[in-house]
Amino acid sequence: MKRRTTLGLGFAAAAAVVVPVGAQQPPRIVAVGSSITEIIYALGAEKLLVGVDTTSMYPEAARALPQVGYMRALSAEGVLSLRPTLIIATTAAGPPGALDQLKATGIEVLILPDLYDYDSVIAKIAAVGKVTGRVAQADAMIARGREAMKTLAARLATATSRPRVLFLLSMNGGAPQAAGRDTAAAGIIKLAGGINAVDGYAGYRPLTPESVIASNADFVLVTRQTVQAMGGLKAILDQPSLNRTPAGKAGRFLEFDALLLLGFGPRTPEAARELAMALHPELARAP
């Protein structure tokens, strides 16, 4: 007996999947989200990948895989052309219509939480370990991560301050676009013992010069990719409103790789520790 699943005439060729019932074939996985791809590689299950989204740029080998587009602007046809038997995405993936089309084919679509805290990282690692047959490796990774975060929390308990951190995603038209609540930036700042300097909205929005000054930021945090896109750190440093914050006056600007800082995957304990040491110099000097 065979099972055949299709989705309309437009998807018939791409969506047709023929699998003998009871067969235990390795899954053909499309990973949507950089953290999912990182986890799969970290677990040693990368041979199961047949495609990734454009945010999956780490490790370097992931860039050579077929791409299905940006994670928030997926095309069902593009994903189905790779003949996956399992699609793993996070709650940040979309649009909803494309995900509904993929689910309608009968192909398994696993949506994992992306809540920008370490519990959601653990949940992603455990789920990916289960579906890839790497449960032992996932358990070991989770144990290492928990221990690292426990050690960091103990060190942060001795910190003498909780600095305010302004994360800038871009400088569109000269207006800094800053991270508010419910963002990866806010999440990693919290894990590192800081306070997100902007909490009046969720997501990312441009700030007026008055709002930048009112943020009273002790540190300005940017990604290396943003600095490159701006043509260098000087373009950010020259913003008059930033120069009127405590961060600007003291020259406290921090630059991190975007996927390390915001990925919320296997390297999050490393990112949280590095950011914490930068925000709390007294901890870096402690034994």
Element (H, E) at 253: strand 253-256
Residue 201's pLDDT is what?
95
Q: Which residues in the chain come in under a pLDDT of 50?
A: 1-23
- CATH number, domain of 275, equals 3.40.50.1980
If one counts every other C-beta atom within 10 angstroms of the C-beta of residue 144, the result is 12
- Domain extent for 206: 164-281
In a domain, residue 153? The reply is no
pLDDT tens digits along 41-56: 999 999 999 999 999 9
Number of domains in the chain: 2
Long-range contacts at 253-257 (CB < 8 A, ≥ 24 apart): 253/219, 253/220, 253/221, 253/222, 254/219, 254/220, 254/221, 254/222, 254/278, 254/279, 255/222, 255/223, 255/224, 255/227, 256/221, 256/222, 256/223, 256/224, 257/223, 257/224, 257/225
User: Do 45 and 144 reside in the same domain of the chain?
Assistant: yes
> How far are the Cα atoms of 10, 24, 113, 246 from residue 219, in angstroms, in the given order?
51, 52, 29, 8
In a domain, residue 27? The reply is yes
User: Do 87 and 181 reside in the same domain of the chain?
Assistant: no
User: Do 103 and 226 reside in the same domain of the chain?
Assistant: no
User: Do 126 and 176 reside in the same domain of the chain?
Assistant: no
Residue 172's pLDDT is what?
63
Residue 138's pLDDT is what?
98
In a domain, residue 159? The reply is no
State how far the Cα of 94 lies from the Cα of 71, in Å rounded to an integer.
6
User: Do 187 and 128 reside in the same domain of the chain?
Assistant: no
User: Do 61 and 31 reside in the same domain of the chain?
Assistant: yes
Question: Does residue 17 contact residue 106 with C-beta atoms inside 8 Å?
Answer: yes
User: Do 30 and 64 reside in the same domain of the chain?
Assistant: yes
In a domain, residue 11? The reply is yes
In a domain, residue 214? The reply is yes
